[in-house]
Amino acid sequence: MDLLFAAVAMTASALVGGATGFAASLLSTPALLLLGYDVPVVVTVNLAATLLSRCVVVWRSWREIEPKRVGLLVVGSAPGAVLGALTVGAIPAHVLRVSAGVLVTLLGLLLFLPAKNEGTAGPGRPMHVLTGLFSGYLATSVSLNGPPVAALLGRVHLPVRTFIANLACYFLTTNSISLVTLIVTGAIPGHGLLPVLPLLVVAAIVGNQLGTMVSSLIPRRAFTRVVAALVLISGLTTALT
């Protein structure tokens, strides 16, 4: 019965993630933890589910992807993922989650402020790399790599399809790096992944595809507000739980 509830939670989370480009892990993490799954299992499942569910999105919308922007984010996320995997055991879990939650909350509040006229390029290269670094660290430590990148892309005011395509490509790349990092550092749990991993991956793919169809119906202004609200909620949830 717990496995059925987990599949329903993952499908619903992935639907929101498909509609907005991120936030699937934000919603699925507390649900899976409440169902009794260990943190290493939840992190591994979320990384794998997000990675595989975004493959279809990248394949369908590759023309919308901005390679340079995504590349800068990945350049930062790779060392961030390694740093997160190496230090997560050395930092008390509650300290890590509260600190990450506060920073993400501030990013969410920033999105509600009027954007400066930064031109179509948006934030510069250093900000992209730093955001990727922060996101990569959160990926392997608290399974919350989406909000920082979503906050940065939200300041650029991209078309909805481009926003989602960039995030999908970023997740595909950085989650691959994060999973390899966890394998190399021995952080992948030796038990508890079967049969939950394959079932939840399928649930994530189904939910993500449904969400992607919904995204085409959302006006850009409303989409921007939804992204800001989800970033803010993710930060508060992380800091308070």
pLDDT of residue 121: 53
Residue 165 reports pLDDT greater than 70: yes
Q: What is the mean pLDDT of residues 85-98?
A: 81
pLDDT of residue 62: 93
Residue 164: which of 52, 64, 53 has the closest Cα? Answer: 64
Which residue range is the domain that position 178 belongs to?
Answer: 2-240
User: Which run of H or E residues covers position 71?
Assistant: helix 67-87
pLDDT of residue 205: 96
pLDDT digits (tens, 9 = 90+) for 35-53: 989 888 998 999 999 999 9
> Is 55 buried (19+), middle (13-18) or exposed (0-12) by CB count in 10 A?
middle
Give me the number of domains the chain comprises: 1
For residue 196, what pLDDT band results from cuts at 50, 70 and 90? very high
Least confident of 41-55, 114-128, 131-145, 191-205: 114-128
Higher-scoring residue by pLDDT: 119, 181: 181
pLDDT digits (tens, 9 = 90+) for 14-28: 999 999 998 898 889
Total Cβ atoms within 10 A of residue 103: 18
